[in-house]
Amino acid sequence: MKLNCDQATTICDKSQYGEVSLLERIKLSLHLFLCKKCGKYTKQNVILTTCYEKQAQLEKMKKDCLSATEKQCLEKDIKEKL
Amino acid sequence: MAQKKHTLNPDKWVQQHADYLFNYTIGRINNHDLAKDLVQETFFAGLKAMDNFQGLASERTWLISILKRKIIDYYRKINSIKGKAEVKMNFYSDGEREGEWIEERAPANWNNETDKNIENKELNLVLEKCIGNLPEKYEMVFRMKTIQQFETEEICKELDITSSNLWVIIHRARTQLRKCMEDNWFKN
């Protein structure tokens, strides 16, 4: 039933994606009740998740694609092999 | 009646599928040149395997199935780079203190965790740099899960890893990122 800090923060990370079971949630709460460091980790993790979500939004807006030149080269390479 | 069979037209591959394949790849491997190389390799492998195409799937589905194998191969390659591919340990890995925080890697107090700072554009640059500093394997899985927001099941299937494996990677990536963001942003 008792978790160490490594296990507790693994569950905390999982919870950032909403993918923890009830048992894991209970075990984590028990650990957090006693451990200040992991408490701090949990608090910071929420802030970091907000940052990551913002990054995800930015990523969705930017579009990396192949340039016309790159496609021409690719086309040439394929023709050579045909 | 037999179904209409699909055919392959390599002359038109770039025109019809290059953007789609590239887009598929860049969502998994966040590196323009690497993604381009994988698309090229996919086309070349496709040319070689043309005789095996039975026409049951569409040309694009067939090309994607080749690309998927290329992506797994790539993941296995970066997974097998020993030493370089590991993140810094944040917890004692054995002995009496196994699983406890290593003192200098434990969370410190943050000075500027206000909302205003989270809206800062510079923060994104620092974050991007910290993500880029992760070993390739950790960066790839972290990005797929957190930035591209794929389902856990999908990532496990695509990279042929178990979900507990995935969570260990995510955990290590996030503890390393936390430390990097602490040192370069939140403690300043």
Q: Does position B118 have pLDDT exceeding 80, yes or no?
A: no
- Among left, alpha and beta (phi > 0; psi -120 to 50; other), residue B16 is alpha
Residue A29, chain B, CB below 8 Å: the answer is no
The mean predicted confidence, pLDDT, of chain A is 94
Q: What are the pLDDT digits (tens) for B57-75? A: 999 999 999 999 999 999 9
For residue B116, name the pLDDT band (cuts at 50, 70, 90). low
Q: What are the pLDDT digits (tens) for B136-149? A: 999 999 999 999 99
Using CB atoms within 10 A of its CB, is residue B97 exposed (0-12), middle (13-18) or buried (19+)?
middle
Closest to B14 (Cβ–Cβ): which among A40, A65, A78?
Answer: A78
Q: Does position B113 have pLDDT exceeding 80, yes or no?
A: no
Q: What pLDDT is attached to residue B77?
A: 92
Could you tell me the residue ranges of all domains in chain B?
A: 10-79, 103-186
More confident site: A1 or A18 = A18
Mean pLDDT for A52-68 is: 91
- State the CB neighbour count (10 A cutoff) for residue B29: 22
Tell me how far apart the alpha carbons of residues B152 and B72 are, in angstroms, rounded to a whole number. Answer: 16
Rounded to a whole number of angstroms, the distance from the CA of A59 to the nearest CA of chain B is: 7
For residue A60, name the pLDDT band (cuts at 50, 70, 90). confident
Residue B153, chain A, CB below 8 Å: the answer is no
Q: What pLDDT is attached to residue B85?
A: 61
Return the residue of B nearest to A4 by Cα: B99
Q: What pLDDT is attached to residue B115?
A: 56
Beta-carbon pairs below 8 A across chains A and B: 115
Per CB-CB distance under 8 Å, the chain B contacts of A79 are: 11
Tell me how far apart the alpha carbons of residues A34 and B40 are, in angstroms, rounded to a whole number. Answer: 54
Residue A37, chain B, CB below 8 Å: the answer is yes
Q: Please, what CATH class does the domain formed by B10-79 belong to?
A: mainly alpha
Among B25-34, B91-100, B112-121, the minimum mean pLDDT is found in B112-121
CATH architecture observed for domain B103-186: Orthogonal Bundle (1.10)
The first and second tokens of residue A55, run together, are 């990054």
Tell me how far apart the alpha carbons of residues B18 and B10 are, in angstroms, rounded to a whole number. Answer: 11
Residue A54, chain B, CB below 8 Å: the answer is yes
Q: What pLDDT is attached to residue B30?
A: 92
Tell me how far apart the alpha carbons of residues B186 and B26 are, in angstroms, rounded to a whole number. Answer: 30
- State the CB neighbour count (10 A cutoff) for residue A20: 19
Q: What pLDDT is attached to residue A64?
A: 87
Q: Phi and psi (nearest 5°) for B90? A: -110, -15
Q: What pLDDT is attached to residue B88?
A: 85
Q: Phi and psi (nearest 5°) for A19? A: -120, 35
Q: Does position B111 have pLDDT exceeding 90, yes or no?
A: no
Mean pLDDT for B147-160 is: 97
Q: What are the pLDDT digits (tens) for B79-96? A: 987 655 678 889 999 899
> Given the structure tokens 């500093």, which residue do they identify?
B133
Q: What pLDDT is attached to residue B150?
A: 97
Tell me how far apart the alpha carbons of residues B22 and B19 are, in angstroms, rounded to a whole number. Answer: 5
Buried b / exposed e along B123-161 (16+ C-beta atoms within 10 A): beebbeebbeebbbbbbbbbbbbbbbebebeebbeebeb
Q: Which of A1, A71, A52 is nearest to B149 (CA)?
A: A52
Among A10-14, A62-66, B146-150, B172-176, the minimum mean pLDDT is found in A62-66
Which one of B171, B177, B181 would you mutate to disrupt binding with A, by most A Cβ within 10 Å of its Cβ? B171
Rounded to a whole number of angstroms, the distance from the CA of B87 to the nearest CA of chain A is: 14
Eight-class DSSP state of B15: I
Tell me how far apart the alpha carbons of residues B151 and B144 are, in angstroms, rounded to a whole number. Answer: 9
Q: Does position B15 have pLDDT exceeding 90, yes or no?
A: yes
Closest to A48 (Cβ–Cβ): which among B40, B43, B181?
Answer: B181
Q: What are the pLDDT digits (tens) for A4-32? A: 999 999 999 999 999 999 999 999 999 99
The first and second tokens of residue A3, run together, are 């978790």
Q: What pLDDT is attached to residue B169?
A: 96
Residue B14 to residue A74, Cβ atoms within 8 A: yes
